[in-house]
């Protein structure tokens, strides 16, 4: 049986039209791949039709062959174009699905702010950093040595009394002041030294308007050759003026085991003197305890009560307000 040339030509055109309709109708890349296999795959329709070419008259083959190539190219182009179209549609759809409408009203989240104690510490630290001091820190759980002994505080000193200090069952204690950081820092660093050490302290104080069992101090320590009480006075004055602006201050002679001479500083607040810090020249015994030569080095130290500072800065009448977590109070700062 011979295959009529017109038969094959008609089959090819019909195949092309059918395939093009099918390509136009499909909507997914998977369907497209199935179509490709169906028409152009090894066992697909086009190769099948072409199988009939062998039976063609030799003179007809080139012409039908050319038509077959055209059909094949037309299908291939159709498939390629559809593939590109489906792929970009897929990307479009994905972009659409992931789009964020930036004009939509958001969920309102109230913005918090620093607690007045935190902002007071930050303000004080900023001033000392501006004066060339480095921030130092130490543990809140201390040994007797760092909290008392190395600070020239003899065993019979009242500060060691059970009435004042929280002792832990293992013999350690909760530091009663940040002065312990002085010792830890000097043990690990050589002079000259200038540090500011903020931190939490603990005492068995009866809580009232100006006393809390947990409170904060900032310790400063400067050690160098030739430092005098005048340097201490100048530093404290510059600091308090930067902290509070124009404020009346006075130095009062005092006593601390770790400084000699020692002083307390009061600021004029609401018509009366309010003690805000203790200070003095570092006692030679303290320098000896950390292996510094007191014949070469002198230094000064001070400890500030952060709560007192915050009370003066913000006109707070009762220290307990700082710990009550009452938002009506805190929102004012
Ligand atoms: N540590 C003292 C206190 O808790 C405060 C103090 C006084 C610190 C004199 C010092 C200082 O560094 O020199 O009350």
DSSP secondary structure of 108-153: --------HHHHHHHHHHHHHHHTT-EE----SEE-HHHHTGGGT-
Does the CB atom of residue 301 touch ligand 1 within 6 A? yes
Asked if residue 243 has pLDDT above 60, the reply is yes
Taking the centre of ligand 1 as the mean of its atom positions, its distance from the CA of residue 314, in whole angstroms, is 24
DSSP letter string, 54-86: GGS-TTTHHHHHHHHHHHHHHHHHHHHHHHHHH
When pLDDT is averaged across residues 251-272 and rounded to a whole number, the result is 93
Asked if residue 192 has pLDDT above 50, the reply is yes
Name the residue at shortest CA distance from atom 3 of ligand 1. Answer: 177
Asked if residue 5 has pLDDT above 50, the reply is yes
Q: Which of 78, 92, 69, 59 is nearest to 18 (CA)?
A: 78
CA distance 38 to 19: 9
Q: Which two tokens stand for residue 330?
A: 């805190």
Considering only residues 77 and 2, tell me which one the structure prediction assigns the higher pLDDT: 77
Considering only residues 22 and 269, tell me which one the structure prediction assigns the higher pLDDT: 22
Does the CB atom of residue 179 touch ligand 1 within 6 A? yes
Name the residue at shortest CA distance from atom 2 of ligand 1. Answer: 303
Contacts of 230 (CB under 8 A, 6+ apart): none
Taking the centre of ligand 1 as the mean of its atom positions, its distance from the CA of residue 305, in whole angstroms, is 9
Taking the centre of ligand 1 as the mean of its atom positions, its distance from the CA of residue 264, in whole angstroms, is 9
Does the CB atom of residue 305 touch ligand 1 within 6 A? no
Considering only residues 191 and 1, tell me which one the structure prediction assigns the higher pLDDT: 191
When pLDDT is averaged across residues 4-12 and rounded to a whole number, the result is 76
What pLDDT shows up at residue 64?
84
pTM beyond cutoff 0.85 = no
What pLDDT shows up at residue 1?
44
Let me know if 291 is exposed, middle or buried by CB neighbors in 10 A (0-12, 13-18, 19+). exposed
User: Band of the pLDDT at 246, cuts 50, 70, 90?
Assistant: confident
Asked if residue 2 has pLDDT above 60, the reply is no
Taking the centre of ligand 1 as the mean of its atom positions, its distance from the CA of residue 130, in whole angstroms, is 22
The residue to mutate among 256, 266, 284, having the most atoms of ligand 1 within 8 angstroms of its beta carbon, is: 256
Q: Which atom of ligand 1 is nearest to the CA of 221?
A: 12
Name the residue at shortest CA distance from atom 4 of ligand 1. Answer: 177
Does the CB atom of residue 279 touch ligand 1 within 6 A? yes
Contacts of 84 (CB under 8 A, 6+ apart): none
Please, what's the b/e burial string for 174-211 (b: 16 or more CB within 10 A of its CB; e: otherwise)?
A: bbbbbbbbbbbbbeeeebebbbbbbbebbbeeeeeebe
When pLDDT is averaged across residues 75-83 and rounded to a whole number, the result is 92
The predicted-structure confidence for 102-137, as pLDDT tens digits, reads as follows: 898 888 888 888 999 999 999 999 999 999 999 999
Asked if residue 93 has pLDDT above 50, the reply is yes
In order of 155, 169, 254, the CA distances from 160 in angstroms are 7, 15, 19
User: Band of the pLDDT at 53, cuts 50, 70, 90?
Assistant: confident
User: Band of the pLDDT at 284, cuts 50, 70, 90?
Assistant: very high
Q: Is 11 helix (H, G, I), strand (E, B) or coil?
A: helix
| Identity of the highest mean pLDDT range in 65-79, 263-277, 280-294 | 280-294
User: Band of the pLDDT at 59, cuts 50, 70, 90?
Assistant: confident
Does the CB atom of residue 177 touch ligand 1 within 6 A? yes
When pLDDT is averaged across residues 139-144 and rounded to a whole number, the result is 96
The predicted-structure confidence for 164-180, as pLDDT tens digits, reads as follows: 899 999 999 999 999 99
What pLDDT shows up at residue 202?
96
């Amino acid at each position: 049986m011979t295959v009529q040339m017109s038969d094959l030509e008609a089959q090819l055109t019909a195949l092309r039209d059918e395939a093009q309709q099918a390509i136009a109708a499909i909507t997914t890349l998977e369907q497209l791949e199935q179509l490709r296999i169906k028409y152009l795959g090894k066992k697909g329709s086009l190769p099948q039709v072409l199988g009939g070419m062998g039976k063609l008259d030799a003179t007809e083959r080139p012409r039908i062959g050319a038509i077959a190539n055209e059909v094949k190219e037309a299908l291939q182009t159709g498939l390629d174009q559809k593939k590109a179209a489906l792929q970009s549609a897929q990307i479009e759809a994905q972009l659409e699905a992931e789009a964020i409408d930036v004009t939509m009203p958001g969920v309102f989240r109230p913005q918090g702010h620093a607690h007045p104690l935190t902002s007071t510490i930050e303000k004080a630290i900023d001033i000392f950093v501006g004066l060339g001091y480095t921030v130092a820190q130490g543990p809140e759980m201390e040994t007797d040595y760092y909290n008392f002994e190395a600070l020239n505080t003899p065993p019979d000193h009242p500060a060691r009394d059970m009435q004042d200090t929280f002792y832990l069952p293992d013999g350690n204690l909760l530091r009663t002041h940040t002065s312990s950081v002085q010792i830890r820092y000097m043990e690990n660093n050589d002079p000259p030294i200038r540090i500011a050490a903020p931190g939490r302290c603990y005492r068995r104080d009866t809580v009232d308007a100006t006393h809390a069992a947990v409170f904060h101090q900032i310790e400063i320590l400067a050690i160098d050759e030739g430092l005098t009480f005048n340097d201490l006075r100048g530093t404290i004055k510059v600091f308090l003026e930067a902290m509070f602006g124009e404020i009346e201050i006075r130095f009062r002679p005092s006593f601390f085991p770790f400084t000699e001479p020692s002083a307390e500083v009061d600021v004029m607040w609401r018509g009366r003197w309010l003690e805000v810090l203790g200070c003095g020249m570092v006692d030679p015994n303290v320098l000896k305890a950390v292996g510094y030569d007191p014949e070469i080095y002198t230094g000064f130290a001070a400890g500030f009560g952060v709560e007192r500072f915050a009370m003066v800065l913000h006109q707070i009448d009762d220290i307990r307000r700082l710990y009550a977590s009452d938002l009506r109070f805190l929102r004012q700062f």
